[in-house]
Amino acid sequence: MNGPIVDRIIRKKKHDIMKKVKMGTRIFPIMPMSILGAKVDGKANFMALGWLSRVNANPPLIGVAVNKSHYSIAGIKENKTFSINIPTKKMMKETDYCGLTSGKNTDKSEIFNVFYGKLLTAPMIDECPLCIECKLVETVEMPTNELFIGEIIETHIEPQYLTDDIPDIKKIDPIFLTMPDNNYWTLGEKIGKAWSAGKELKK
Ligand SMILES: Cc1cc2nc3c(=O)[nH]c(=O)nc-3n(C[C@H](O)[C@H](O)[C@H](O)COP(=O)(O)O)c2cc1C
């Protein structure tokens, strides 16, 4: 019943599934790296964060999954705010450091130049090309993590990282994390236009 192109895609898919091996349940291989900012005990604290995603269109919501043992949790809950800071690849070591150390025993408030926006309690990192301040709107408790859902209240970006008034991902040069090999990567080549590349298969 399907057209010849769709038939071909479906046949190819069945073939691929036959060749796959099972890897268990813990593989989620690629994530954009960010640094979560929270004000804890009156001080800025930053932690490395790979588990984040846009989760709603309107209002614009972001979900971040934070382990219950982390120091950042107290600040997010107390102020009901947090920030997401997108580091450039030059900030790989600082980003990793924020993931290797805890605010419980290391003061991370001096690593970066910190600024605050509308929310006043979501510390942001001046060195990061792009910073997003979020107001906590919902907390979903999971067995090991808390899923904090935040509404984007403002996004701060330096003009040098814009092209035609939108964030230019090449200029931002973000970091990606792969697991379980635990490596950092940079952006590859643009391969097509989203919401457009598949159009020719609709013919
Ligand atoms: C590459 C990388 C990614 C990480 N991603 C997350 C994450 O998504 N969620 C999380 O809870 N912890 C994550 N962590 C661990 C925290 O950043 C780390 O435990 C940190 O010390 C917590 O800081 P805090 O105790 O000051 O809040 C990550 C660590 C690294 C190195």
State the burial class of residue 77 (Cβ atoms within 10 Å of its Cβ: 0-12, 13-18, 19+).
middle
Query: Which residues on neighbouring strands pair with residue 30, listed in sequence order?
Result: 178
Q: How far is the CA of 162 from the centre of ligand 1 (A)?
A: 29
Nearest residue (CA) to ligand 1, atom 16? 99
Q: Residue 7 has what pLDDT?
A: 61
Ligand 1 site: residues with CB under 6 angstroms?
Answer: 45, 47-51, 65-67, 70-72, 96, 99, 101-104, 177
Centre of ligand 1 to C-alpha 86, Å, is 15
Number of domains into which the chain is organized = 1
Inter-residue long-range contacts of 20-28, CB under 8 Å, 24+ positions, other chains counted: 26/180, 27/179, 27/180, 28/179
CATH number, residue 63:
2.30.110.10
Distance 166 CA to ligand 1 centre (A): 29
Return all residues near 144 (Cβ < 8 A) that are at least 6 apart.
67, 68
Residue 197 is assigned to a structural domain of this protein: no
* Domain housing 73: 28-188
pLDDT at 1: 45
Question: Is 4 contained in some domain?
Answer: no
Query: Rounded to the nearest 5°, which phi and psi values hold at 12?
Result: -65, -40
Instruction: Flag whether 195 is in a domain.
Output: no
pLDDT digits (tens, 9 = 90+) for 58-107: 999 999 999 999 999 999 999 999 999 999 999 999 999 999 999 999 99
Q: Is residue 5 part of a domain?
A: no
Q: What does the pLDDT average to over 4-19?
A: 62
**pLDDT > 90: what percent of the chain?**
86
User: What is the CA(56)–ligand 1 centre distance, in A?
Assistant: 23
In a domain, 7, yes or no: no
Asked whether residue 200 is assigned to any structural domain, the reply reads no
| In a domain? residue 14 | no
160 located within any domain: yes
Lowest mean per-residue pLDDT among 24-33, 46-55, 56-65, 108-117: 24-33
pLDDT tens for residues 127-172?
999 999 999 999 999 999 999 999 999 999 999 999 999 999 999 9
